[in-house]
């Protein structure tokens, strides 16, 4: 086994997610991406002489499969705007009485120097007092490679921002306890950048050490007026070889992503039938940023989910057509997509004696048939939206739930009964009917509605339920009656009727059980009655 240990010396990690660099949208990157750690090791290699043994060790490291992670908990720090002085700019004012006056060749100090301050923000996360470990369970480093890795780790001083100081080492196997994240594309809850074959060569090309060194030497020679001939020759070479412009080093980029999931949940294969949606929900906590309400109730789920979908659709313009269809639910012509697509699910505090039904978070249910790359792209879209502006309801943040032990109602299995399944389910948000029931007699109306709900179950891949109980009150404590929820609108402007329901199957089934006309928009969300 190979394990690399990292200790954050200042008690925080300062690194920004790559897709959240716009001012006001910065978020700390956590867990640290394996690619970021690799880039820190490569940078230490570049600036300390580029030892050939270290290069071979990095080439071996990039050839390994993605590592598992053992990371401590974190608390994101509020992003604060700092005003940072940049390079000094000389300021010279011409004397009106001396029209022929020319500025001096240089202004080194004194009142001629103006210090400009620019706004900068730094995304940080405070960490628990535990090291981070990157673990390759099946990798065994040969002694020369192990020695080179140890040398490289000793040279790494930061990972991320210059204030994110670290100590890094090759860890002993007995140091590492249970992993918190393992590579798993099928159950992935987050996407992390990882190195792969060719990463080091690309970093070398971007670092461009030889050209930068040559350009720097020529610049120094061109500014040295002690030897006029050498100065002219340097200026000529700068113009011929570099076009007279400053040489730019490219920002390092690693475009390879790997899905990660919590360990242990995939050890037992699901034997019960499921739906067209993957049971591995992507869960976000809902945090109040501003507004008049301390919490949002379940009746607000429709507005919250609708705003989330709009925000997600605005982030897919640069992605493949298939991913745009999965996120938006519409085909190229703008019509409804034939087949399952991304469903958004409200997660509320229900099913407990003290439950009050307020929204704890939101989840995304991806279609079960996505391949690894499509799932990876959709997860990246989900990671781009971190805030919902809900008008009179205020501003609410979406925070990926990455803790070891999240609240029960923010766990996917609380809503899916994965992997064993459940036979009894009840709605948390009402089922919106596909059509308006025609029966006038109450018992006949109930039978017609129950038949529609049974058909809605088979439409998402479930077996037909043995029994459907149509009711105005959910079987879960904390859920408001159906009449409290706003109705979905039809395309013709009319309202869809809806109701709560209890579903009983002959055999256990696995969720998410999302049924009815509003299953993609937060309605028809069912929860197992015996979960927890």
Q: What is the pLDDT of residues 458-498, one digit of tens each?
A: 999 999 999 999 999 999 999 999 999 999 988 777 889 99
Distance CA 89, CA 332 (A): 52
What pLDDT, in 10s, does the model give residues 194-208?
Answer: 998 989 888 888 777
**How confident is the model at residue 23, as a pLDDT?**
46
**Strand 190-193 vs strand 74-76: parallel, antiparallel, or unpaired?**
unpaired
Under the banding of pLDDT at 50, 70 and 90, the label for residue 110 is very low
What pLDDT, in 10s, does the model give residues 25-43?
Answer: 467 788 899 999 999 999 9
For the segment 180-194, the average pLDDT, to the nearest whole number, is 85
Under the banding of pLDDT at 50, 70 and 90, the label for residue 121 is low
Write down the mean pLDDT value for the chain.
85
Picking from 68, 75, 61, the residue whose alpha carbon sits closest to that of residue 13 is 75
Answer yes or no: is pLDDT of 248 > 70: no
**How confident is the model at residue 82, as a pLDDT?**
60
Q: Which tokens hold the place of 473?
A: 């009150």
**How confident is the model at residue 238, as a pLDDT?**
78
**Three-state secondary structure call for residue 84:** strand
Residue 277 and residue 357 in contact, taking contact as beta carbons nearer than 8 Å: no
Rg of the chain on CA atoms, in Å: 29
What the chain holds in terms of domains, given with CATH numbers, is 2-79+121-205 (3.30.70), 209-242 (no CATH), 268-528 (no CATH)
Under the banding of pLDDT at 50, 70 and 90, the label for residue 95 is low
What does 17-65 look like in DSSP terms, one character per residue?
A: -TT--STT---B--SPPHHHHHHHHHHHHHHTT--HHHHHHHHHHHTSP
Q: Which tokens hold the place of 503?
A: 């579903």
Share of the chain above pLDDT 70, in %: 85
Answer yes or no: is pLDDT of 371 > 80: yes
Under the banding of pLDDT at 50, 70 and 90, the label for residue 349 is very high
Under the banding of pLDDT at 50, 70 and 90, the label for residue 522 is very high
Residue 342 and residue 323 in contact, taking contact as beta carbons nearer than 8 Å: no
Residue 363 and residue 429 in contact, taking contact as beta carbons nearer than 8 Å: no
Picking from 471, 529, 513, 472, the residue whose alpha carbon sits closest to that of residue 350 is 529
Under the banding of pLDDT at 50, 70 and 90, the label for residue 168 is very high
Under the banding of pLDDT at 50, 70 and 90, the label for residue 214 is confident
Under the banding of pLDDT at 50, 70 and 90, the label for residue 111 is very low
């Amino acid at each position: 086994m190979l394990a690399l240990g990292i200790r954050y010396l200042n008690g925080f990690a300062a690194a920004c997610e790559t897709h959240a660099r716009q001012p006001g949208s910065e978020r700390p990157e956590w867990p640290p991406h394996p690619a970021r750690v690799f880039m820190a090791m490569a940078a230490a290699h570049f600036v300390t002489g580029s030892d050939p043994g270290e290069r071979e060790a990095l080439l071996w490291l990039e050839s390994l499969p993605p590592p598992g992670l053992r990371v401590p908990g974190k608390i994101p720090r509020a992003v604060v705007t700092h005003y940072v002085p940049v390079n000094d700019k000389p300021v010279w004012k011409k004397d009106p009485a001396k029209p022929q006056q020319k500025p001096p060749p240089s202004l080194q100090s004194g009142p001629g120097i103006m210090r400009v301050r620019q706004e900068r923000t730094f995304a940080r996360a405070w960490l628990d007092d535990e090291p981070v470990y990157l673990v390759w369970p099946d990798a065994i480093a040969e002694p020369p490679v192990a020695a080179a890795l140890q040398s490289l780790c000793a040279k790494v001083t930061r990972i991320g921002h210059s204030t994110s100081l670290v100590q890094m080492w090759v860890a002993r196997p007995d140091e590492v306890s249970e992993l918190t994240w393992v590579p798993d594309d099928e159950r992935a809850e987050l996407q992390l950048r990882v190195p792969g074959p060719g990463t080091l060569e690309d970093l070398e090309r971007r670092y461009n050490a030889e050209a930068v060194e040559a350009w720097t030497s020529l610049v120094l020679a061109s500014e040295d007026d002690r030897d006029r001939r050498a100065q002219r020759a340097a200026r000529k070479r700068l113009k011929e070889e570099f076009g007279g412009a400053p040489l730019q080093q490219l920002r390092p980029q690693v475009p390879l992503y790997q899905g990660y999931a919590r360990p242990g949940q995939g050890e037992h294969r699901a034997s019960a039938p499921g739906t067209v949606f993957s049971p591995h929900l992507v869960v976000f906590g809902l945090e109040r940023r501003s507004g008049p309400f301390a919490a949002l109730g379940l009746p607000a789920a429709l507005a919250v989910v609708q705003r989330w979908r709009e925000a997600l659709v605005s982030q897919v313009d640069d992605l493949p057509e298939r991913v745009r269809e999965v996120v938006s639910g519409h085909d190229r012509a703008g019509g409804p997509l034939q087949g399952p697509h991304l469903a958004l699910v409200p997660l509320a505090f229900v099913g407990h004696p003290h439950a009050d039904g307020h929204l704890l978070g939101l989840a995304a249910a991806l279609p079960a048939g996505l391949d690894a790359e499509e799932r990876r792209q959709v997860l990246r879209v989900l990671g781009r939206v971190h805030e919902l502006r809900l008008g009179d309801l205020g501003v609410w943040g979406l925070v990926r739930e990455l803790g070891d032990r999240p609240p029960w109602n923010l766990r996917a299995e609380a809503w899916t009964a994965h992997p064993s399944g459940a036979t009894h389910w009840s709605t948390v948000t009402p089922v919106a009917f596909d059509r308006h029931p025609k029966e006038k007699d109450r018992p006949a109306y109930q039978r017609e509605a129950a038949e529609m709900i049974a058909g809605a179950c088979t439409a998402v891949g479930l077996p037909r339920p043995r029994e459907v109980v149509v009711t105005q009150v959910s079987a879960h404590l904390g859920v408001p009656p159906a009449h409290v929820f706003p109705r979905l609108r039809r395309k013709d402007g009319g309202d869809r009727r809806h109701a709560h329901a209890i579903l009983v199957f002959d055999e256990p089934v696995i969720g998410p059980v999302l049924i009815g006309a509003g299953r993609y928009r937060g309605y028809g969300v069912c929860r197992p009655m015996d979960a927890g």
